[in-house]
Structure 1
Amino acid sequence: MQVHFISDLHLTADRPALTVVLERYLTGSARTAAHVYILGDLFEYWTGDDDTEDPLNHHVADLLAALARTGTQLHFMPGNRDFLLGREFAARAGLEILQEPTLIDLDGQAVLLCHGDAECTDDLAYQAFRSQVRSPAYQAQFLAQPLAARKQFIAGVRMKSEQAKAGKQAEIMDVNAAAIAELLRQNGYPRLIHGHTHRPALHIHEVDGHSCERWVLSDWREDSRGAHGEVLIWEDGRLNRLPLD
């Protein structure tokens, strides 16, 4: 049995080559998976499920739904860019929306899944913003606004976010070791898989006498080599990375 994990695709009409990589994956190697877990930031931003005029949203939903019809089970955990993605889009795409964190069983081994931004606790300004926008009251108020107003607001937030990141030390935007330790402790010292930080690596955390693996997923990006991504694959009791282009 194969189980696949991806995150941080940041799909947008401005970077169509990334959608091509996704299409090749979903019509190719993803069809060998019993489960595909998307751990946040599938999209660069999400203004609401009622944004039905965006061709990218339709295309991605169709691609995911086609994979789901083959029998692969699809799971989505909201990220910091697409936490407003809801039941309507999930139904169109054949996705199960997961709570964060979610504990799963892989061949008898406990694996904890999260996006990863909640554990970046050194970034106090971001955590305050996250707490505000994740509240149900804030989201209901935001989604009640006209779609055009929401898009304009999100464009402004994205610009401010890029400016803020430019002035922050890289360590602040990574996960906090104590926060990771507490997350592992609360969930019985499992293996952890997350995205968000764009720092793919395997870390070993020693927590209360337990040795716990932390796998960080790769972001998908365009660079001098073109557009490419990566999937983390569980098979035969092991995790391995598969590059995509």
Structure 2
Amino acid sequence: MATLFISDLHLDPRRPTIVSLFLDFLERRARRADALYILGDLFEAWIGDDDDAELGHTVAGALRALVESGVPTYFLHGNRDFLVGQGFASASQIQLLPESAVIELVGEAVLLLHGDTLCTDDVEYQAFRAQVRDPAWQAGLLARPLAQRRMLASQLRETSRQATQAKGTEITDVNPMAVEHALRTHGVDHLIHGHTHRPAIHQWILDGRPARRAVLGDWYEQGSVLCCDRAGWRLESLPLPGV
């Protein structure tokens, strides 16, 4: 069996085909895994664990069924679902990870990130990230009525979309020096992250040792999963139903 990694699903009721693909993935492919790691942006937006929208309850139930089948499931916050809290974790039985986590994977230490902290050339985004990750800011947001939070989330998504379109790809991609700094800081040679929507497995020499960085793909036109076992690391695509 393999350990599976996914990110950037951006689940949204307006994209029911992707939601169905993810639920099928949990019921079938993920049931054969040693473990599942979700490295952020599971949802297009998460406005708090008290949200009564159907999608959150459906996904929590499906994740819980996976965990109860014997597959431990871990979640690391992304830039769209940083408000996922202990309420959702309890409902789904997933285990919340810190924003940077080192795990042992097939005998090797591997750093897990969402990936947005590596995009250090995007100074505007990093300032925004610092604001929304501040506990006081989050507490103030969660104190607002759900309707206000939904409106704000919609506004933030549109602002993010426009800002991303206005920036070059070199700005929104990771900074190579930030990648190497993260590896050195955590004392590892391997990294798995999402966020950039540029799936690939990069290999190079860092400080005289082989280094490896896997970038997870998004779930827009298809599903994307990284499978890690003793045979190696493989990025696999999951076709949409009927394709």
Distance 2:121 2:152 in 1: 26
| 1:95 aligned residue | 94
User: Once the two structures are aligned, what percentage of the paired residues are identical?
Assistant: 49
**Secondary structure of 2:181's partner?**
helix
1:144-180 CA-partner distances (Å, limit 9, x unpaired)? 1111111111111111111111110111000001110
Distance 2:153 2:214 in 1: 30
| 1:230 aligned residue | 224
Q: In the TM superposition, what is the alpha-carbon distance from 1:237 to its structure 2 partner? A: 4.6
**Secondary structure of 2:180's partner?**
helix
| 1:32 aligned residue | 32
Question: Superposed, which structure 2 residues align to 1:138-217 within 5 Å?
Answer: 138-217=137-216
- Any conservation in 1 of the 2:189–2:209 contact (CA below 8 Å)? no
| 1:243 aligned residue | 237
- Any conservation in 1 of the 2:21–2:223 contact (CA below 8 Å)? yes
**Secondary structure of 2:57's partner?**
helix
Distance 2:116 2:106 in 1: 27
Q: In the TM superposition, what is the alpha-carbon distance from 1:134 to its structure 2 partner? A: 0.3
- CA spacing shift, 1:82–1:24, aligned 2, 3 Å: same
Distance 1:244 1:194 in 2: 18
- Any conservation in 2 of the 1:8–1:196 contact (CA below 8 Å)? yes
**Secondary structure of 2:34's partner?**
strand
**Secondary structure of 1:175's partner?**
coil
Q: In the TM superposition, what is the alpha-carbon distance from 1:76 to its structure 2 partner? A: 0.2
| 1:225 aligned residue | none
Q: In the TM superposition, what is the alpha-carbon distance from 1:63 to its structure 2 partner? A: 0.7
- Any conservation in 1 of the 2:200–2:235 contact (CA below 8 Å)? no
Question: Superposed, which structure 2 residues align to 1:73-152 within 5 Å?
Answer: 73-152=72-151
Unaligned runs of 5+ in 2: none
- Any conservation in 2 of the 1:205–1:213 contact (CA below 8 Å)? yes
- Any conservation in 2 of the 1:189–1:207 contact (CA below 8 Å)? no
Distance 2:95 2:183 in 1: 24
- Any conservation in 2 of the 1:185–1:207 contact (CA below 8 Å)? no
- Any conservation in 1 of the 2:141–2:149 contact (CA below 8 Å)? yes
Distance 2:40 2:58 in 1: 18
| 1:61 aligned residue | 60
One-letter amino acid of the counterpart of residue 234, structure 2: N
1:42-85 CA-partner distances (Å, limit 9, x unpaired)? 00000000002x11111111111111110100000000000001
Distance 2:205 2:171 in 1: 22
Distance 2:98 2:34 in 1: 20
One-letter amino acid of the counterpart of residue 74, structure 2: H
One-letter amino acid of the counterpart of residue 161, structure 1: S
Distance 1:178 1:241 in 2: 24
Q: TM-score, normalised by structure 1?
A: 0.95
Q: TM-score, normalised by structure 2?
A: 0.96
